[in-house]
Amino acid sequence: MMFAMPSHWRKELQLLLGAVLIAGLAGTLTGQLLPFLLLGLLVYLGWHLYQLARLPALLGQDGQGRPRPSGLWNGIIREIQEQQDSNRRRINDLSCQLDRFRDTVNTLPDAVVILDQSGRVDWSNPAAANLLNILWPDSQGRLLTALAPDPVLGEYMASGDFYMPLVITSPANRAKILSVFITPLKREANRLLVVSRDITRQYFLDTARRDFVANVSHELRTPLTVISGLAEQLNTSEPDLATVPRSTELILQQARRMSELVSDLLTLSRLEMQQDTAPDERVPVPELLTTIVEEARALSGAAQHVLQLDIRSNDGLRGNAKELRTAFSNLVFNAIKHTPDQAEVRVRWRVDHAGARLSVTDTGEGIAARHIPRLTERLYRVDASHSRDTGGTGLGLAIVKHVLERHEAELEIISKVGGGSTFTCHFPPERVISLL
């Protein structure tokens, strides 16, 4: 295999040979071969020293445009410059990655803090200021437990057992609930990484869910206790025959209450599970309201409420007929339940440029202003005992609200104690359809 000599080495050898030849020729002609050869080599060495002295200038920023020496130095300079370029590119890449990392950490909504081995702040991102009261760089070197003086956090830090994340109130804002997750860094195990997240919404949702389950259990337990008490009385060898009809009636009534509650719960959970908007059925609202009012008349029975149906438009709605029927009948039946015998209940259907409106107005007991914003909460009742008497589950208006949300509609409640109430469903124009 032939050895291919790099071109700069070839040039260098030519240069050396040239110097030796010229010196040798001059030495031969003058009869002073050795001194001339020595002189030639000295000039060659001097030239190299000169190039060595020029090297930093040639490699510097303004050395780029200068003519490069030929021979070995050309190769060396090219090699070093290639190294410099590749280093510059690597530094650029690294600084881009660092910028991206810094940007990501700074944009994170979660607080990220690094603690040194004694629990003092080494570094933190901007979110740590809002959540943990840790402001970078002012808080550097300060103890985490001094900046967030929560005894629970103090105990947690002291225990050194970070297997389960901690839940605390934010030291920067008492209204916020935080989860705190601590772990040693992978490469520097004596430093700790603290990540804290705002879980306020989740926390209150969980609490509401827990309360709801407790309330539902309570609601079911009450009729169940009545039923089992009465059943025990009937189960004796000699039951008091005079009370049997009343007892069985009460058992039936309580069983009906339980079944209504379970059925409303199922409706509500079905509605909650369907996140999307209601499907596009053609719902003939005037027809639907006529049926509901007839049913309400039957429900009123001997109470003989005066039911007025005021249909001012033949238009209908795009939506789910079954859901709308549930919502509208809840409003009409509520009006009957909370209005004295023989009083008036008016159901009105109107459509104009702003959309469609279904309103149910009664002349009943009315509702105090402080209760109105809470009426659509699950199991909320103004007067629980009265509501139970009238067969209410406290879920009716929660169901109405859900159905309306799925139809992009809103519920408006106007009421005055002793002055009756008006419940209005506002539907947007896009939901209105002509039935002709």
The CB-of-267 to ligand ADP minimum distance in angstroms stands at 12
Toward ligand ADP, which CB reaches closer, 69 or 364? 364
Residues of this chain that interact with ligand ADP (CB under 6 A) are 330, 334-335, 338, 362, 364-365, 367, 375, 380-383, 387, 392-398, 421
Toward ligand ADP, which CB reaches closer, 305 or 407? 305
Toward ligand ADP, which CB reaches closer, 288 or 335? 335
- Alpha-carbon radius of gyration of the chain: 44
The CB-of-272 to ligand ADP minimum distance in angstroms stands at 15
* 120: number of Cβ within 10 Å: 16
The CB-of-312 to ligand ADP minimum distance in angstroms stands at 22
The CB-of-329 to ligand ADP minimum distance in angstroms stands at 11
The CB-of-257 to ligand ADP minimum distance in angstroms stands at 11
- CA dihedral (29, 31, 34, 40) positive or negative: negative
Distance CA 351, CA 433 (A): 10
Distance CA 189, CA 434 (A): 71
Residues 6 or more apart whose Cβ sits within 8 Å of residue 184: 190, 191, 192, 193
Toward ligand ADP, which CB reaches closer, 170 or 363? 363
Toward ligand ADP, which CB reaches closer, 32 or 308? 308
Q: Is the CB of residue 112 less than 8 Å from the CB of residue 105?
A: yes
Distance CA 399, CA 261 (A): 12
The CB-of-173 to ligand ADP minimum distance in angstroms stands at 34
Sheet holding 410-415, edge to edge: 306-311, 344-352, 355-362, 421-427, 410-415
Q: How far is CA 131 from CA 68, 146, 307, in A?
A: 60, 15, 57
The CB-of-376 to ligand ADP minimum distance in angstroms stands at 7
Toward ligand ADP, which CB reaches closer, 321 or 397? 397
Q: Torsion angle of alpha carbons 411, 412, 414, 417, nearest 10°? A: 30
Toward ligand ADP, which CB reaches closer, 189 or 266? 266
